[in-house]
Amino acid sequence: MDSFSLLQAVIIFVYLAGTVLVFAGPILHKERLKSLGNAAAVAGFALHTLNIILYLSLEQGLALTEGSFYFSLLAWSLLLIYFILWWRLRLGFLGLTAAPLALLLFVSSLATVGTRVAMPKSLIGVFFSLHIGSLFASISLLTMAFGAALAFIYLEKKIKTKAKLTGLGKEMPSLNMLDKVNHWVILIGFPLYTLGLVTGFMWARQAFGRVFSWDPKEVVALFVWFLFALLFHQRLALGWRGRKTAVMAIWVYGFTLLSLVGVNFFVVTHHGFK
Amino acid sequence: MDQDIFLLGFNHRTAAVAVREKYALTTVENFTSKLARAVPAREVMCLSTCNRVEILAVGRKGSGLRDAILDFWAKACGGRVEELAPHVYRYEGHEAVGHLFKVAASLDSMIVGEPQILGQLKTAYRDAVDQGSAKVIINRLLHKAFFAAKRVRTETNIASSAVSISFAAVELARKIFGDMTGVTAMLVGAGEMAELAATHLLGNGVKNLLIANRTFARAEELAKTMGGKAITFEEIIGRLAEADIVISSTGAQHTVIQARDVRPVLKKRKNRPMFFIDIAVPRDIDPDVNGLDNVYLYDIDDLKEIVEENMAQRRGEAVKAEALVDIEAEAFGKWLESLGLQPTILDLYGRAERCARQELKKTLKRLGPVPPEAEEALETLVLSLSRKILHEPVDFLKRRTREEGKADEFISLVRRVFNLDDDSVPADAHADRLDDSVEQGSASDPDTCQ
């Protein structure tokens, strides 16, 4: 095992420990385990940052044509967004979404080594960075909204039906707090998603000479954008809150996942991983 | 040891309200210091709340201390011993320790697990310290009692859920709103129960309070005492949009707030959530309100159900807690026994010998094989050295303990200096010695006193 794969093994181990701890903390109602879990996530994130820097410097431009790199990058951006939410809203609860998904994505990145994205090296530039950066940030935000939405729907149902809160329910943040995540994600995530699409299309014009080519990826992404726009409008203009926006966030996230994983792997598209 | 711990007192089970009122120590000014002067006790501490009196004293066995305390107590409160005595329990030694620990851990409270008693006990202890009537034994006893209470709180779920209607309501409000500082509450009907719930809300950070009542004067009066704003009964629907929490408790025969009133209000509020608490019977708020999005309605039965479930859980946890308290009381009993002169001297020599042998073992290991005579000589050396060093302190201890009233103090000092009880001292040991009584006190609940 060379030092690079050793680093990856350590990252997996730390993420795994973090995931186990962030679940054990609230389930056993132990504050200490929760903070240990978050500490592990921070440590894993630091190592992961190192890993990405090493990878980019070792493989240079080549890294960007590897499918596995994008999984790793998504895991990283997911944790970054989680840490920002944790810091801004003092909301550690979403570690329950962020930690296991970061672990899963990082492991997937190792499992998909060898998949390639068709990408002429000359095209890696400003548009590309903006396209990937803004989309990954907004997908990470949507992931947080998804976790918050599941928690909101569960907790809201319990309160509405006057059921007793047990186990995890007792540890959940307030409904208002979970709703605030939804608000935050829509407010920031939608403009980012829009930017991601626009830069994507501009880049496509450079690369393929056409803005829109009925590529399945483009179609699904555009559909997600409309759904996201609807949510943005209902929330910010009509003042929707609570359960309805939580349900919509779950739909938006579901289709995002479909466009991200389903289309890239199973459909022929210029985003495909081969 | 020639000293023993005595505890006299009564609680809500052994004495009726009339007796508890008459013999409450709070009616007597400076009871503790007067008692300390009047009876042959070395240390004294008194706790008096509306549900109990506990008088803790340390004194010589067979000195008639208990009777003297009872006598003084009855007379100080202007009563008779014959009237007071049947309601009083008397514990001694280990039983007294066990009882005090249970009181501290709130296992003897009217509502088991409510933490106010700990704050009250801390205040009582602070008073005793201030008046100089708490010394070696009460100091350690109370610290161990607080420790036992802390263990019970952290290691069992005894206090993890609300067991009063108003607390249950506040807990739910916290689950809905989280931070309560920006929350506005509206009281519809200014009954006692509503007032209580509002007090809890204010205690949890709610800043704005609107009070509506059929008789406006009463609303104004309450608004003045609670720091809210009085509104007329007709204004309720119009100002509903300002309220995040509505507590209703009118005597009305029909519902006061209808679902059709609330629907437009929600629009005005941009769907910010509303929490309705209906503690009136018959109900004040149309049950259909709960069907609206972002609106939560709990009536008195819903809240009662939560409270009962939590109570049942507490009773289960209390069994676990008693076992914990027993362990702690046992440990304290051991310490108390060791407070004699002889056990302390033995412990001292024992500790010194253990240290000497440990060091000897290390040295022999480093030296490698040595002739048996040398090994024997080394052993004699370290053992006699350790004994010689202790000779003076032990002699000093023997002389000093002969002076009346000084034995416990010096023995306890020596035990602490040499750490004979293997106490680990956490970094914050002294920080919480007295200060968190304030925090406990502020959390106290005006409607229950343990």
Q: Which domain holds residue B407?
A: 339-417
A63 and A169, same domain (yes or no): no
Per-residue pLDDT of chain A (274 residues; tens, 9 = 90+): 567 778 888 888 999 999 999 888 888 878 888 888 889 989 999 999 988 888 877 766 666 667 778 888 889 999 999 999 888 888 888 888 888 988 888 888 887 776 666 665 555 667 778 888 898 999 999 999 999 999 999 999 999 998 888 778 888 899 999 999 999 999 999 999 999 988 888 877 777 777 777 777 788 888 999 999 998 988 888 888 888 999 999 999 999 888 877 776 666 666 655 4
Confidence band for B427, pLDDT divided at 50, 70 and 90: low
Structure confidence at residue B434 (pLDDT): 47
Q: Which residues of B are less than 8 Å from A242 in CB distance?
A: 271, 273, 293-294
Last residue of some domain: A115, A141, A172?
A: A115
Q: Measured between alpha carbons, how far is A204 from B307 in angstroms, rounded to an integer?
A: 62
Q: Which residues of A are less than 8 Å from B309 in CB distance?
A: 164
Structure confidence at residue B90 (pLDDT): 93
Sign of the C-alpha dihedral computed for residues B349, B355, B356 and B358 taken in this order? positive
Is B425 a domain residue?
no
- Among A1-10, B101-110, B181-190, B292-301, name the one with the lowest average pLDDT: A1-10
Q: In what order do the strands lie in the sheet containing B89-92?
A: B41-48, B52-60, B3-11, B89-92
pLDDT surpassing 60 at residue B63: yes
Q: Which residues of B are less than 8 Å from A243 in CB distance?
A: 293-294
Residues of B with CB under 8 A from a CB of A: 160, 172, 174-179, 267, 270-273, 290, 293-294, 296, 298, 302, 305-306, 309
Contacts of residue A145, Cβ cutoff 8 Å, sequence gap at least 6: A181, A182, A185, A186, A189, A249, A252, A253
Question: What mean pLDDT do residues B121-132 have?
Answer: 91
Is B96 a domain residue?
yes
A123 and A255, same domain (yes or no): yes
Structure confidence at residue A269 (pLDDT): 64
Confidence band for B436, pLDDT divided at 50, 70 and 90: very low
Of B160, B176, B271, the CB nearest to A239: B271
Is B181 a domain residue?
yes
Residue with tokens 């819903």: B302
Is A175 in contact with B305 (Cβ distance < 8 A)?
A: no
B209 and B139, same domain (yes or no): no
pLDDT surpassing 80 at residue B358: yes
Q: Which residues of A are less than 8 Å from B267 in CB distance?
A: 239
The minimum CA-CA distance between A90 and chain B, rounded to whole Å, is 12
The minimum CA-CA distance between A171 and chain B, rounded to whole Å, is 10
Between residues B10 and A165, the one the model is more confident about: B10
Q: Which residues of B are less than 8 Å from A162 in CB distance?
A: 298, 302, 305-306
Question: What mean pLDDT do residues B174-202 have?
Answer: 86
Contact in structure between B348 and B418 (CB atoms under 8 Å): yes
Is B87 a domain residue?
yes
* CATH number of the domain residue B67 falls in: 3.30.460.30
Q: Identify which of B132, B233, B125 has the alpha carbon closest to the alpha carbon of residue B187.
A: B233
B171 and B152, same domain (yes or no): no
Confidence band for B430, pLDDT divided at 50, 70 and 90: low
Residue with tokens 């704050």: B119
Q: Which residues of A are less than 8 Å from B175 in CB distance?
A: 155, 159, 165, 172, 174-175
Structure confidence at residue A62 (pLDDT): 64
- Greatest mean pLDDT among A62-71, B310-319, B440-449 lies in B310-319
Sign of the C-alpha dihedral computed for residues A45, A50, A55 and A60 taken in this order? positive
Structure confidence at residue A122 (pLDDT): 53
Q: Measured between alpha carbons, how far is B221 from B227 in angstroms, rounded to an integer?
A: 10
Last residue of some domain: B97, B126, B158?
A: B158
User: Does the N-terminal peptide bond of residue B282 adopt cis geometry, omega within 30 degrees of 0?
Assistant: yes
Last residue of some domain: A62, A84, A115?
A: A115
Is B328 a domain residue?
no
Q: Closest chain A residue to B298 measured between Cα atoms?
A: A162
Give the dihedral of Cα atoms B339, B340, B346, B351; nearest 10 deg. 10
Structure confidence at residue B367 (pLDDT): 87
- Among A88-97, B116-125, B435-444, name the one with the lowest average pLDDT: B435-444
Cα–Cα–Cα angle for B22, B23, B27, rounded to 5 degrees: 80
Give the dihedral of Cα atoms B55, B61, B66, B72; nearest 10 deg. -90
In degrees and rounded to multiples of 5, residue A248 shows phi and psi of -65, -40
Structure confidence at residue A274 (pLDDT): 47
How many domains does one find in chain A?
2
Q: Measured between alpha carbons, how far is B436 from B115 in angstroms, rounded to an integer?
A: 13
Is B309 in contact with A242 (Cβ distance < 8 A)?
A: no
pLDDT in tens, A116-133: 666 655 556 677 788 888
Structure confidence at residue B435 (pLDDT): 44
Contact in structure between B44 and B131 (CB atoms under 8 Å): no
Sign of the C-alpha dihedral computed for residues A162, A166, A169 and A173 taken in this order? positive
Of B172, B178, B309, the CB nearest to A177: B178
Q: How far is CA B25 from the centre of its chain?
A: 19
B77 has catalytic annotation: no
The minimum CA-CA distance between B77 and chain A, rounded to whole Å, is 47
A154 and A75, same domain (yes or no): no
pLDDT surpassing 60 at residue B1: no
A111 and A149, same domain (yes or no): no
A262 and A140, same domain (yes or no): yes
A110 and A161, same domain (yes or no): no
B64 and B182, same domain (yes or no): no
Question: What mean pLDDT do residues B334-348 have?
Answer: 79
Q: Identify which of B157, B50, B48, B150 has the alpha carbon closest to the alpha carbon of residue B105.
A: B150
A241 and A145, same domain (yes or no): yes
pLDDT in tens, B219-278: 888 888 888 889 988 888 888 999 999 998 888 888 888 899 899 999 888 889 999 998
Q: Which domain holds residue A270?
A: 117-274
Type of residue at B71: D
B169 and B277, same domain (yes or no): yes
User: Residue B406 corresponds to which tokens in the numbers above?
Assistant: 């000084």
Question: What mean pLDDT do residues B179-205 have?
Answer: 85
Between residues B322 and B114, the one the model is more confident about: B322
Is B293 in contact with A173 (Cβ distance < 8 A)?
A: no
Q: Closest chain A residue to B296 measured between Cα atoms?
A: A160
Q: What is the DSSP letter of A2?
A: -
Burial group, residue A242, by CB count within 10 angstroms (0-12, 13-18, 19+): buried
Is A174 in contact with B302 (Cβ distance < 8 A)?
A: no
Point out the catalytic residue in the list B46, B50, B77, B355. B50
For residue A207, the surrounding DSSP H or E stretch is helix A175-208
Top residue of A176, A234, A247 to mutate, by most chain B CBs within 10 Å, is A176
User: Residue B162 corresponds to which tokens in the numbers above?
Assistant: 């609300």
Of B179, B270, B298, the CB nearest to A162: B298
How many domains does one find in chain B?
3
Contact in structure between A75 and A21 (CB atoms under 8 Å): no
Is B434 a domain residue?
no
A77 and A53, same domain (yes or no): yes
Q: What is the DSSP letter of A273?
A: B
DSSP track, A72-106: HHHHHHHHHHHHHHHHHH---TTHHHHHHHHHHHH
